[in-house]
């Protein structure tokens, strides 16, 4: 409990709420919905967030985690945080139906080739606290707190793909957003949407032939067991937004808001290191436990996909309008500044 009362006031038995004093933070539990299972990047983030919140509020705040599956499907998690049934959640590829502007993170080839640089750009005050970005969430009863890249998106396939021609007709599962479907159509593939928890059986039954995940997810969801190739094109990172319910966030005291902000800033480097480590270790697990083939595209091969991805930026602007266009331009400017 955080009490700071003046000696005189304490002697008089009076509570003082003035300059230099703070009220105790009430004991409270925050429910945090995850799109991923225990052991994932989101889980590690949420667990550390909970530990730091608990420490920095002297035990007043407890964070309760709900890994993927406990609250239903992915969109059930977003509904729960929008309605205030839970206070916190991660949202990524399926969030496009709720926050269309969040599909910005689904665009391919818009960030740099360096993961740490991208993490810093996305969590800069300039981006994370940009009015358009914040409003895109707040207009949907949400409040964005941090942007969390979780590693390169890697294609799990039954055959090697090095060129858009190789992708021709491949039934690839994407997360549920139009930007991703348009991107994979542009690459020549045949995209289809499916819930995260249904991918394994979809692959096993041949309903889909490929899916796109960071390495850690290919491993922990066992997708690699039913795929023959992992193709590294470094076309995009998997990016999730850590968000709270808007009214809940607005109701926090300034002191708590400051503590939350301090924790998310401290977690930027922490979670970057964790995701790099998890993705590296899990690739070792995959290659030790299977004879899956790894394919890495050359710069020239990547360029063919990059060119095909460019018109999808116009689709993004068409879909989300001026606010989306300003956000896309902001991101491109920040990337350019880092590349200079």
The footprint of ligand 6CS (CB under 6 A) covers: 35-36, 74, 92-94, 175, 196, 213-214, 217, 238
Report the residue number, 209 or 301, with the smaller CB distance to ligand 6CS.
Answer: 209
Measured from the CB atom, the residue of 74 and 320 that comes closer to ligand 6CS is 74
**Minimum distance, C-beta of residue 88 to ligand 6CS, in the bound complex (Å):** 15
Structure token pair of residue 204: 């096993």
Q: What is the dihedral of CA 322, 325, 327, 331, to 10 degrees?
A: -170
Q: By C-beta, is 150 or 182 nearer to ligand 6CS? A: 150
Minimum distance, C-beta of residue 258 to ligand 6CS, in the bound complex (Å): 29
Is the Cβ of residue 92 or residue 102 nearer to ligand 6CS in the bound state? 92
How far is it, in rounded angstroms, from Cα 238 to Cα 154?
9
Closer residue to ligand 6CS in complex, CB, 59/197: 197
CB of 35 to ligand 6CS, least distance (A): 4
Which of 222, 197, 215 has its CA nearest to residue 151? 215
Q: How far is the CB of 31 from ligand 6CS (least distance, A)?
A: 18
User: In the bound complex, what is the minimum distance in angstroms from residue 227's beta carbon to ligand 6CS?
Assistant: 14
Torsion over CA: 41, 44, 46, 52 (sign): negative
For residues 256 and 57, the answer to whether their CB atoms sit within 8 Å is yes
Output the CA–CA distances (angstroms, integers) from residue 37 to 52, 71, 74, 95, 197, in the order listed.
21, 12, 12, 18, 10
- Rounded least distance, CB 41 to ligand 6CS, Å: 8
Nearer to ligand 6CS, 189 or 334 (CB): 189
132 exposure class (CB count in 10 Å sphere: 0-12, 13-18, 19+): middle
Distance CA 168, CA 190 (A): 7
């Amino acid at each position: 409990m955080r009490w700071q009362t003046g000696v005189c006031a304490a002697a008089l038995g009076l509570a003082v709420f003035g300059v230099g004093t703070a009220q105790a933070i009430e004991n409270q539990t925050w429910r945090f919905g995850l799109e991923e299972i225990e052991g994932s990047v989101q889980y590690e983030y949420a667990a550390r967030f909970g530990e730091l919140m608990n420490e920095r509020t002297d035990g007043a705040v407890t964070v309760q985690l709900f890994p993927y599956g406990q609250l239903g499907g992915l969109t059930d998690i977003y509904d729960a945080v929008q309605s205030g049934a839970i206070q916190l959640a991660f949202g990524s590829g399926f969030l496009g139906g709720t926050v269309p502007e969040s599909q910005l993170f689904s665009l391919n080839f818009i960030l740099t080739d360096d993961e740490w640089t991208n993490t810093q750009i996305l969590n800069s005050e300039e981006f994370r606290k940009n009015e358009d970005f914040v409003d895109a969430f707040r207009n949907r009863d949400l409040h964005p707190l941090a942007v969390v890249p979780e590693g390169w998106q890697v294609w799990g396939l039954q055959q090697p793909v090095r060129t858009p021609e190789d992708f021709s007709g491949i039934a690839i599962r994407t997360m549920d957003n139009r930007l991703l479907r348009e991107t994979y159509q542009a690459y020549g593939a045949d995209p289809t949407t499916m819930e995260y928890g249904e991918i394994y059986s979809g692959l096993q039954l041949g309903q889909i032939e490929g899916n796109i995940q960071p390495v850690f997810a290919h491993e922990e969801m066992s997708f690699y067991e039913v795929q023959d190739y992992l193709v590294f094109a470094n076309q995009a990172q998997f990016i999730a937004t850590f968000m709270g319910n808007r009214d809940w966030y607005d109701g926090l005291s300034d002191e708590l808001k400051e503590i939350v902000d301090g924790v998310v800033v401290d977690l930027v480097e922490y979670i970057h290191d964790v995701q790099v480590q998890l993705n590296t270790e899990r690739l070792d697990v995959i290659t030790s436990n299977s004879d899956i083939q790894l394919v890495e595209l050359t710069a020239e091969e990547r360029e063919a996909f990059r060119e095909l991805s460019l018109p999808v930026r116009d689709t993004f602007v068409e879909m989300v309008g001026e606010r989306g266009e300003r956000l896309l331009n902001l991101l491109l400017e920040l990337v350019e500044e880092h590349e200079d």
